[in-house]
Amino acid sequence: MTDGSRPSARFLLSRPDDIHATALTSQFGYANRQLNRAVRELMLASGLEAGATVVDYGCADRPYLQFLPDGVNYVGVDLAGNPKADLELTPEGTIPVPSETADLVLSTQVLEHVDDPRAYLRECARVLRPGGKLLLSTHGIMYYHPDPEDYWRWTCAGLRRLIEEHGFGVVESQGLLGLVAASLQLIQDRTCWQVPRRVRRPYVVAMQMLIALADRRDTDESRATNSWTMAVLARKSE
């Protein structure tokens, strides 16, 4: 996302239609429900009010627009070619808006796909007002999934350090899908396409139920250490 030679958002056309689906029959149903919950909770904790400006940095198909409070000025920014974006990223991957004009930057499942995470976070800090918030989610445990490319994974400590190095203080963080649940998710994703088509849906349903059960038996402390996805709310220094 920081290199003009990168592909345009034509890759969105090849995405599965159910990539954000939450149904029990969806391969990522439980993980998506947990991510939706985390984004809603952190959005509420951000204290956004009517009239605030939210920049969705790598907005794709705007999956979390519904969680914003009424009266917010939403600006979706993405690679060239995305019809859902309000603005196109520059060839350098920067946001074409003035500095210190946003109250919140929303970044969901984007950081692992950018060429230079440090440049990306510097840009998040640039567009935010002093005291503005960053709501960011990215992967801890996950297999390679190009969209259009896939570069990075973080530990909980590594992600916190990266965020804090760029002028943010972490307000709240959540780990989604602990170690056992994430392991079962990986097993499901590796094996479901080897299951005969006629039993594939029941297989996914059974695995999703098992993943949910395993995750309910985990603890917040454990998930914070080893998780499928990490969601963070951070505040830019005054």
Rounded to the nearest integer, the mean pLDDT of the chain is: 92
Q: What is the pLDDT of residue 206?
A: 98
- In the predicted model, is pLDDT for residue 19 greater than 50? yes
> Which tens digits make up the pLDDT trace of 141-176?
999 998 889 999 999 999 999 999 999 999 999 999
Q: What is the pLDDT of residue 15?
A: 56
Q: What is the pLDDT of residue 64?
A: 95
- In the predicted model, is pLDDT for residue 3 greater than 60? no
Q: Are strands 168-176 and 229-236 parallel, antiparallel or unpaired?
A: antiparallel
Q: Which residues contact 166 (CB under 8 A, 6 or more apart)?
A: 118, 121, 122, 124, 125
Structural domains in the chain, CATH included, are 9-178+219-236 (3.40.50.150)
